[in-house]
Structure 1
Amino acid sequence: MEKEILKVLEQINGKLDRQEETLKLQGETLKEHTGILSGLRNGQEVLKAEISELRLQNAKEIGEIKEQLKGIEDSVGVLKEDTWQNKKDIHRIKKTMGMS
């Protein structure tokens, strides 16, 4: 009977050893995964900062482009008025000279 108890205890001890080894391996895996996740988080933070900087630069450039477009619109308006005035003057001169 004592031999049977010792045999059962050895089997239990063997199972516990295997479970201990499994737990050690899982612990190592968790440490590796923790390192990987930390790296990913840091990478995400860097990318978020870069994206924010790009958005800021884009907003600034869009503002500058809008200012340039406003200047161009103003210039086109002046040119349109000048062209219309020139056409009227040309027509008046032609009429005065009897050419129209």
Structure 2
Amino acid sequence: MKTLQYVFAALAAMFLAAPAFAQEAAATNQWVPLAAGLSMALAAGICGLAQGKATASASEALARNPGARPGIFIFLILGLAFIESLALFTFVIIFLKVK
């Protein structure tokens, strides 16, 4: 019953917010480049922190069990690639949005 209340509350919020999204955008928006720069800085910083944490965890795992190096190495590289792809996706979206 509680889940049904949450569903109806979400639907009501979406229907009430629909007119707000129907408004036209401003002709020139001077904040887009600033927002793009801040979002790229945020994405790069968080990805850097995540990569540092992943590398630290892999180093700790290797120190505890050196025999598991191949498995740890594969998952470390895969995880680092996924983390870096988030920053690259942010860059592509910014590149497409800012003209």
Whether these two folds match at TM > 0.5 is no
TM-score range, shorter chain: 0.3 to 0.5
Q: RCO higher in 1 or 2 (8 Å CA, sep ≥ 6)?
A: 2
With normalisation by structure 2, the TM-score equals 0.38
Larger radius of gyration: 1
With normalisation by structure 1, the TM-score equals 0.38
